[in-house]
Amino acid sequence: MIKHIYQLFCLLILASCTDNDLETTETQLITDSYFFQKQSLNFNIYECNQYQNYDFKNYRQSTSTQTFLKISEIAEKDNAVDGCIQKYMEVDELTPSSNFLIEDSFFIEIMDCSKLNQNDIETSIRPFLVSIENNSLDLWVAVTKLNNNQFNWINIWPSEQTRNDFMQDWVNSSASGKLANELGKDLFCNNHKTYSFN
């Protein structure tokens, strides 16, 4: 049972490996040749159980109106807010920034992952990144730095509908299982949160 749940979860993470082009885009990986273009960004996220009288004017508000997000290049953890759970992450992008990161609308997935061997994170995720490039999928990918073999994996899609349309085809493809097995040798991701902003 746990094996089936794990396989399904891996399929969900690997949402960017289809032969369907949702849009005509050209995705590039950040390799050594892109070293000076690689960005480190900072995410301040507040999850609030109820409306807060705090001024979130520089934050994007989720469609649920309970989550607030600020993405910036300035490494700065914002103050705690009563009644909200704060998550701060410094992330390194693995695909170049997409225009939808500066738009008001996008869909974000954040996964808590563990490294299972000595390979570095970028080497472990490389098959996933190559599949994004091969399928010209408009998906922004980043990871946090490793901390006690733990890290966060972030995928940002242009919209929730884009992700859902892709997932509908992806889950039924033979490539999904192959990639899930390949990634499962190096990584294990067990917590998956999604947020929609528009």
Domains contained in the chain, CATH given: 2-37+91-197 (3.30.70.100)
Q: How many CB atoms lie within 10 A of CB 149?
A: 11
CA 162 to chain centroid: 14
Percent of the chain, pLDDT > 70? Answer: 75
Q: Give the C-alpha separation, 184 to 186, whole Å.
A: 5
Q: Give the C-alpha separation, 71 to 134, whole Å.
A: 28
Q: Give the C-alpha separation, 100 to 102, whole Å.
A: 5
Q: Give the C-alpha separation, 15 to 34, whole Å.
A: 24
Q: Taking 50 as the threshold, does the pLDDT of residue 33 lie above it?
A: no
Q: Taking 70 as the threshold, does the pLDDT of residue 25 lie above it?
A: no
What is the DSSP-derived secondary structure letter of residue 166? H
Q: What is the pLDDT of residue 52?
A: 63
Binning pLDDT at 50, 70 and 90, where does residue 19 land? very low
Rg of the chain over Cα atoms, rounded to whole angstroms, equals: 17
Q: What is the pLDDT of residue 132?
A: 83
Give me the helices (H) in 61-114, please: none
Residue whose tokens read 């410094």: 90
- What's the pLDDT tens digit per position in 138-196? 889 999 999 999 999 999 999 999 888 888 877 788 888 888 889 999 999 988 999 99
Q: Are strands 84-93 and 67-72 parallel, antiparallel or unpaired?
A: unpaired
Percent of the chain, pLDDT > 90? Answer: 34
Nearest CA-CA partner of 142 in 125, 119, 167, 118: 125
Binning pLDDT at 50, 70 and 90, where does residue 49 land? confident
Dihedral over alpha carbons 39, 86, 58, 76 (to 10 degrees): -50
Angle CA(17)–CA(20)–CA(24) in degrees, nearest 5? 105
Residue whose tokens read 């033979």: 174
